[in-house]
Amino acid sequence: FKLLFYFRNLGLNICDMPVGTLRRMSQIIGKQPKDLDVRYFGLNHFGWWTSIKDKEGHEYLPEIRDYVAKHGYLTQVEVDTQHMDQSWQETHKKAKDLLAVDPRFLPNTYLKYYFYPDYVVEHSDIHYTRANEVIDGREKEVFSAAQRIVEKGTAEKESFSAGSHATFIVDLARAIAYNTHERMVMIVENNGAIANFDDDAMVEVPCIVGTDGPEPLCQGRIPEFERALMYQQVTVEKLVVQAYVEGSYQKLWQALTLSKTVPSAKVAKALLDDLIEANKEYWPELH
């Protein structure tokens, strides 16, 4: 796509979910995240850990896997406030069911939306969604603290915990500024990082980060199950982009039909029509 060519060097893609989940894994084995090197492959919100090693090369994945099979990613210690809401606690617990689908690897928690969409619907309240939970929780906390600081003219005696974003963005900036070669999970063009996947796909893999930006580490070939899931999701995203560029109703319907979060083409069409109506002030006209 010309869009990809134009925007390729205008930003860096990184997500807090692998960072937050690694914190939980670290608690499970009594380590610090900085003490661990991981191998991971997937897409944003759609991936798997294949190795969790300390600096001496000891592999902790089997130990963490045994814990997750019983408890999910739930731990006894608060990791960060933004992932401590009730919906997040349920999400961390659900990880044990995600692991059961393929016990070889540790799953990203967002896979629950793709593996168990019926469960998500059954356990969701349309009148009080996770967005409402954030508005009433983290957003209210941060905005209230910010307002108090503005009114007092000082941040003295104010405190609220920094989320995952606050810490790893500083790590990323430091790595680029000082060429520290920090190892971080980032979203980059594949270009062979996953050997049996499309080169132009944006994949989430460990990278070495320095002044030249992220350098992906090769993850080799991935299993057919995960590869097929990833290809399906990448195709959804490509069709969405094509639908926008071409103004194509048909391609956007196809994209929603292909998504594992949508049960049928009939539901996909109804969902698309509702989305068009709700976003008519912002979306291009689709034909």
Each residue's pLDDT tens digit, 151-161: 999 988 877 66
Residue 2, pLDDT score: 41
Rounded to whole angstroms, how far apart are CA atoms 280 and 287? 13
Contact indicator for 231, 41 with CB cutoff of 8 Å: no
Ranges 36-40, 147-151, 166-170, 176-180: which has the least confidence: 166-170
Q: What is the pTM of this model?
A: 0.89
Residue 79, pLDDT score: 54
Query: Which residue, chain included where needed, has tokens 């594992």?
Result: 260
Annotated binding residues: 15, 45, 130
Annotated binding residues for substrate: 130
Q: Of these residues, 16, 102, 171, 198, which one is catalytic? A: 16
Q: In the predicted model, is pLDDT for residue 78 greater than 80?
A: no
Q: Which of 194, 164, 170 is nearest to 48 (CA)?
A: 194
Rounded mean pLDDT, 53-79? 92
Clarify whether 110 is annotated catalytic: yes
Q: Considering only CA atoms, give the Rg of the chain.
A: 20
Q: Of these residues, 37, 85, 102, 110, which one is catalytic? A: 110
Annotated binding residues for Mn(2+): 15, 45
Read off the pLDDT of residues 178-189 as tens digits, 9 standing for 90 and up. Answer: 999 999 999 999
User: How many CB atoms are located within 10 Å of the residue 220 CB?
Assistant: 11
Residue 239, pLDDT score: 98
Q: What is the mean pLDDT of the chain?
A: 91
Q: In the predicted model, is pLDDT for residue 5 greater than 90?
A: no
Fold of 2-124+163-222: L-2-Hydroxyisocaproate Dehydrogenase; Chain A, domain 2 (3.90.110)
Clarify whether 16 is annotated catalytic: yes
Rounded to whole angstroms, how far apart are CA atoms 182 and 174? 9
What is the band of 88 on the pLDDT scale with cuts at 50, 70, 90? confident
Residue 11, pLDDT score: 79
Strand order in the sheet with 213-216: 182-189, 202-210, 213-216
The residue extents of the domains of the chain are 2-124+163-222, 225-278
